[in-house]
Amino acid sequence: MANFFDIEGPFVKYGTLLFDMVMLSAVWAVTGGMVPVMLLLSTGIFGKIPLIATFLIIYVLVLHWCIATCSVMYALGKKQRGTDTYTLRDFGHAFKLNYKQCMIISLIVTTVILLVAYNIWLIAYNKQSFGFSTYIILPLELLLGLEFIFVILYLPNLIARFDMKTKDFIKYSFLMANKHLLTTLILVVLFGGTIYLCVFVNMGLVFVLPGLYMYIAAALLERVFKNYMPSEDEQLETEEVEGFSLDAERQAIIDQYLNQAKFDDQGEYKIVKVDEEGNEIVEKDDYRIVKVDDEGKEL
């Protein structure tokens, strides 16, 4: 019991995790557009402007759901893998690095989901006009909507974990969601439960539950992603074949897998060896690019 309150004990460990999840939930609610939309609704300003303007404002704000979720998943995913994390800095880094790609993906996915939702409402509201075809078209629209829900459950974490083209993110999200159907259904239940509690029970829970949901989702999806990642042994064999020192590269490969690689000025990964304090180690025989004078001497 004495160790329970130690600096590395369960109380501090899980208390810190809980604090980080609450903090990230609040940051997600603000940057993802939820809080701005609620504030605008509470002021009554939407009743004073044209309906189309109201729709466009809400649409633009809500489009940020993908980048906000991706950034939270990035920060919580590092915690899942047991790496050293700086929660807000990790969130900010992922937000800046993935903003453009996430907004493009969010624009595509959100627009399609809204169109599908509108079609479902239109068919259900005018089912007499559609006649018997209602029983064919409506299930197809519902299936399409369900598939896009599956996709958005995988997309943000996939973006936070890998580097691919936009179309590949959407493609692999679809394939993984349907291949690992049990995990997907668990995520759907957790996702639906979170929305229900935040919308119908207490809207204040939006500052608590999203972080908890995304932490659990990150853990479930990490198990899925490992099926598509090369093992450490395979990477080490590749390095050995290419002529690298196996021992010298081992820690760099482990750091790369754990997402502990450093970033250069352009935000790209670079694999380096570091000492116990995290300072980069440069061996004497390492190749370097340097400036030289006319005689070939290093400046």
Same domain membership, residue 131 and residue 69 = yes
Assess if residue 37 is contained within a domain: no
Same domain membership, residue 279 and residue 165 = no
Look at the chain and report how many structural domains it folds into: 2
For residues 188 and 251, which has the higher predicted lDDT (pLDDT)? 188
Least confident interval from 55-59, 162-166, 214-218, 295-299: 295-299
**What is the mean predicted confidence (pLDDT) over 262-277?**
54
Same domain membership, residue 223 and residue 144 = yes
Assess if residue 295 is contained within a domain: yes
| Whether pLDDT at 84 is above 80 | no
Give CA–CA dist 50/59, Å, rounded: 14
Task: Return the structure tokens found at 104.
Answer: 């493009």
* Residue 263 φ then ψ, to 5°: -115, 140
Same domain membership, residue 134 and residue 79 = yes
Please name which of 114, 225, 215 lies closest in space to residue 164, comparing C-alpha atoms.
225
Same domain membership, residue 68 and residue 192 = yes
pLDDT value of position 242: 45
Angle, nearest 10°, between helix axes 10-31 and 34-43? 60
| Whether pLDDT at 59 is above 50 | yes
Same domain membership, residue 258 and residue 179 = no
The pLDDT confidence band at residue 228, using thresholds 50, 70 and 90, is confident
**What is the mean predicted confidence (pLDDT) over 196-202?**
90
Assess if residue 145 is contained within a domain: yes
Same domain membership, residue 166 and residue 20 = yes
Same domain membership, residue 286 and residue 164 = no
pLDDT digits (tens, 9 = 90+) for 95-137: 999 999 999 999 999 999 989 988 888 888 887 777 778 888 8
* Residue 242 φ then ψ, to 5°: -75, 0
Are the C-beta atoms of residues 211 and 76 closer than 8 Å to each other?
Answer: yes
Distance (Å) of CA 117 to CA 141, 159, 161: 8, 25, 30
Same domain membership, residue 214 and residue 104 = yes
Same domain membership, residue 181 and residue 148 = yes
Give CA–CA dist 205/211, Å, rounded: 10
Query: Which spans in the chain are helix H?
Result: 10-31, 34-43, 51-62, 65-80, 87-125, 127-130, 134-161, 166-179, 181-196, 209-225, 232-241, 246-257
The domain of 273 spans 251-299
Give CA–CA dist 152/110, Å, rounded: 9
Same domain membership, residue 106 and residue 67 = yes
Same domain membership, residue 224 and residue 255 = no
pLDDT value of position 122: 86
Assess if residue 48 is contained within a domain: no
Give CA–CA dist 218/77, Å, rounded: 6
| Whether pLDDT at 213 is above 50 | yes
Q: CB-based burial of residue 167 (10 Å sphere; 0-12 exposed, 13-18 middle, 19+ buried)?
A: exposed
Assess if residue 238 is contained within a domain: no
| Whether pLDDT at 253 is above 60 | no
The pLDDT confidence band at residue 196, using thresholds 50, 70 and 90, is very high
Distance (Å) of CA 7 to CA 62, 81, 134, 189, 198: 40, 20, 62, 35, 33
Helix (H, G, I), strand (E, B) or coil at 262: strand
| Whether pLDDT at 245 is above 50 | no
Angle, nearest 10°, between helix axes 87-125 and 65-80? 130
| Whether pLDDT at 149 is above 80 | yes
Assess if residue 96 is contained within a domain: yes
Assess if residue 242 is contained within a domain: no
Assess if residue 26 is contained within a domain: yes
